Amino acid sequence: MTDFLHDLNEVQRNAVSATEGPVMVLAGAGSGKTRVITYRIAYLISNEGVSPNNILALTFTNKAAGEMRHRVDTLLHAGSSSGLWIGTFHSIFARLLRTYIHLIGYDRNFSIFDSDDSKSLIRQAMTELNISQDSVPVNTIQSLISRAKNGFILPAEFHRNAGDYNQQKAAQVYELYTRKLKENNALDFDDLLIKPIELFNEHPEVLEELQDAFRYIMIDEYQDTNKAQYLVAKMLGARHRNIFVVGDDAQSIYSWRGADISNILNFQDDYHDALTFKLVENYRSTGNILKAANSIISRNQRQIKKELISHRSEGDPLTLLEAYNERNEAEKVGDHIRSMRMKQGYEFRSFAVFYRTNAQSRVLEDVMRQSRIPYRIFGSVSFYKRREIKDAVAYLRFILNERDSESLLRIINFPPRKIGDVSIGKLKDFAEREGVSLYEAIRKAEEGGFQARLVTALTSFSTVIESLKEIAENGTVYNVLSELFTLTSIPLLLQAENTPESLARHENLQELLSMARDFSDHNPDAGSLGDFLENISLASDYEETQDSDNYVSLMTVHAAKGLEFPVVFVTGLEERLFPLHGQEPEELEEERRLFYVAVTRAQEKIFLSWAQSRYHYGQPQHCLKSVFISEIDSSIVQTEGGVFLSDRPLRDAPVSTAPSFSRGYPQKQTAPVATQSSSFDKPKASRSGLRSGISVHHAVFGPGTVLDVQGTGAKQKVRISFRSAGEKTLMVQYANLKIQ
């Protein structure tokens, strides 16, 4: 027997020693949740005499599982974790299925299909069902099926409840895709979660056997579990009821990938005799940081009440940075990093800069490079190295230099034009025979004896290129890129996919458009396409880490969960950016939890920043300060000038609009930006018949209400709030809207 408990505080000790019956540990940020789980495993083995084979510990990442096993071995002795069932939900369930899956009609040597394998099989199903990928993107189908499986919604139920067009088509594919997986003796990643439920329902004797084996079940990050994970855990723990869950409802930020916060909120409804322990002693952050976090999360209605307590000093107040645009915001961040390094001796690695969307990294990266501040993008890649950005830039390079065959080969199927490798090989042969460039061969495709379908696709491509070249001769970089997006409909295609990944790619392309507009506005005489591409090339070749581990970390707030830094900047605190969503109370509460996660990553100092204006879809837009800023106790937030918000007049002074100057290039004054509410003052009518307030229907997004109409003619855009797809901005000529 070993005395493990002396290393723990009182609440941790009580949680570890409560070994019988259901237990929930609400582990606030920085309160030592991993320590509680690992000490409990060690305590069960060493002090309670429980065999490692009778302990099941479920996590979400291999890294967390490895860390848990290592800590148990450290507490006991090397090899003590042998026999323990520690792993991710997917790995543990795959291991179980290898033993029992033959009982539900699969061979034990089943294959596990990755995302690409799954997508290929979905394409086959769509082809057999005559569902065109032009009408519903395969990524959309894959995403809808995955979400259904994570919610343990099987094909029949999904089909019954299918609402919009996408869901109806996905329901057809889901049923056939399920059959095809079984024909291939294969499971996709989501099947690893739902097949155990099918197994247990059809073979209760297997469930009884596993219930007897797993006398003690522990689940990490319980707030991130989906319905399928919840059901399997509940079934396995039903006999002995020794289920021990650790999590924090205040850090539930993954509903978009199926996590269900109600699993943790309703734990005591599932287990009326459950013991609940609240770990609120935070060992990470100063008192003011925790005071801010507590005031933020207290606004949420759906939560289990708790307040974090700091073991550290009160610390510095939070600092609010108020900028006149996004570049000025990034420059302020860079200035404070340099100042704190010089005056307080911080290393670059002490700093982290958070943002709500990946697209926001572009301006921050630009300023970091110009300021010679080493940085690394955490959990993603640098803006200019993202696939969709490289694709769009390849168009611009090719427009400038039609002999650039590498760029040509990159863009010829972006967006998809069904020009395969065989066709490209024939084109190359034709170009070689004729002694011309590959692009010239494309322009002369009618003379090459190619199939009519290929000639049509190549002619369409060359028409786009020639149109863009013509615009590039007299127009701005913004004109070229804007027309590229219009002619190819690339942003609309990404919107239509309506998956988290495609929408992030869409935002990145819109940020590139904003960059082009910014460049064009501030370089009216010398801003050539070549200059623009040169800037991008220099940025792309920047060695981010400079062979050093001393760099500033840039990341989305989602990527920051589980990390901590001495100094944190939370940028872009503006309405419709952070919070990004908020039409529904549940959405706003999750955005608030995300802000809570951002604030609680900081150990010593936190900066909050917002910009009065920001480019959005290539247009400067007036911004409103995020409601989240006003939810923090104003007595602990000060301006850069040292004035506490509690001492400022009720009506804040406007952010300085002093000289529009940027380190990147001199700026010219642009026309005043309209206020955010101006577009709603009067309904706009147009020749298309669209105006704010009317109801419309879109083939992909379904029914919606027009919020705003912008521009005229071929470039007219309409902003619509769709019932199921949220807010979208579409080009009218391509949207094919039906007025209701």
The SS3 of residue 705 is strand
User: What total number of domains does the chain contain?
Assistant: 5
**Residue 283 pLDDT > 70, yes or no?**
yes
**Residue 652 pLDDT > 60, yes or no?**
no
> Are 247 and 330 found together in one domain?
no
What's the rounded Cα separation, in Å, for the pair 688 and 288? 54
**Residue 680's pLDDT band (boundaries 50, 70, 90)?**
very low
Residue 412 vs residue 82, higher pLDDT:
412
> Are 395 and 465 found together in one domain?
yes
> Are 148 and 205 found together in one domain?
no
Distance between start and end Cα atoms, the chain: 74
Asked whether the beta carbons of 302 and 263 are under 8 A apart, the reply is no
> Are 85 and 116 found together in one domain?
no
User: Is 711 annotated as a binding-site member?
Assistant: no
Tokens of 141: 């189908």
User: Is 29 annotated as a binding-site member?
Assistant: yes
Strand order in 275-279's β-sheet?
Answer: 85-88, 55-59, 216-219, 243-247, 23-27, 275-279
Please indicate, yes or no, if residue 717 is contained in any of the structural domains.
yes
**Residue 712's pLDDT band (boundaries 50, 70, 90)?**
confident
Q: Is 740 known to be catalytic?
A: no
Residue 41 vs residue 734, higher pLDDT:
41
Single residue among 277, 305, 325 that ends a domain in this structure: 277
**Residue 673's pLDDT band (boundaries 50, 70, 90)?**
very low
Please indicate, yes or no, if residue 531 is contained in any of the structural domains.
no
Of 33, 278, 397, 592, the catalytic one is 33
Q: Is 239 known to be catalytic?
A: no
User: Is 32 annotated as a binding-site member?
Assistant: yes
Q: Is 220 known to be catalytic?
A: yes
Residue 80's CB: how many other CB atoms inside 10 A?
18
Output the domain CATH number for residue 329. Answer: 3.40.50.300
Q: What angle do CA 599, 603, 608 make, to 5 degrees?
A: 35
Tokens of 288: 């003011």
Of 188, 191, 220, 322, the catalytic one is 220
User: Is 30 annotated as a binding-site member?
Assistant: yes
The SS3 of residue 579 is coil
**Residue 220 pLDDT > 90, yes or no?**
yes
Please indicate, yes or no, if residue 662 is contained in any of the structural domains.
no
Output the domain CATH number for residue 130. Answer: 1.10.10.160
Q: What angle do CA 649, 655, 659 make, to 5 degrees?
A: 145
> Are 176 and 115 found together in one domain?
yes
Of 169, 362, 443, 601, the catalytic one is 601
Of 167, 251, 476, 486, the catalytic one is 251
Q: Quick one: average pLDDT of 17-44?
A: 91
**Residue 276 pLDDT > 50, yes or no?**
yes
> Are 270 and 125 found together in one domain?
no
Single residue among 647, 670, 702 that ends a domain in this structure: 647
**Model pTM score:** 0.81
What's the rounded Cα separation, in Å, for the pair 588 and 47? 45
Q: CB within 8 A of 93, min separation 6: which ones?
A: 192, 193, 195, 196, 232
Q: Is 251 known to be catalytic?
A: yes
What's the rounded Cα separation, in Å, for the pair 669 and 524? 12
Domain region containing 625: 315-374+546-647
Asked whether the beta carbons of 228 and 193 are under 8 A apart, the reply is yes
**Residue 677's pLDDT band (boundaries 50, 70, 90)?**
very low
**Residue 663 pLDDT > 50, yes or no?**
no
Please indicate, yes or no, if residue 565 is contained in any of the structural domains.
yes
Q: Quick one: average pLDDT of 556-584?
A: 92
Q: Is 601 known to be catalytic?
A: yes
- What pLDDT, on a 0 to 100 scale, did the predictor assign at position 572? 97
> Are 343 and 467 found together in one domain?
no
> Are 334 and 237 found together in one domain?
no
Residue 264 vs residue 707, higher pLDDT:
264
Residue type, 18: A
Q: Is 140 known to be catalytic?
A: no
Long-range contact pairs involving 466-472 (C-beta distance under 8 Å, separation at least 24):
468/395, 468/399, 469/399, 469/402, 472/399, 472/400, 472/529
> Are 364 and 390 found together in one domain?
no
Please indicate, yes or no, if residue 142 is contained in any of the structural domains.
yes
Please indicate, yes or no, if residue 501 is contained in any of the structural domains.
yes
Please indicate, yes or no, if residue 582 is contained in any of the structural domains.
yes
Residue 651 vs residue 347, higher pLDDT:
347
> Are 622 and 710 found together in one domain?
no
What's the rounded Cα separation, in Å, for the pair 88 and 63? 9
Q: 451-501: per-residue pLDDT in tens?
A: 888 888 899 899 999 999 999 888 889 999 999 998 988 888 888 888 888
> Are 213 and 85 found together in one domain?
yes
> Are 612 and 501 found together in one domain?
no
Please indicate, yes or no, if residue 294 is contained in any of the structural domains.
no
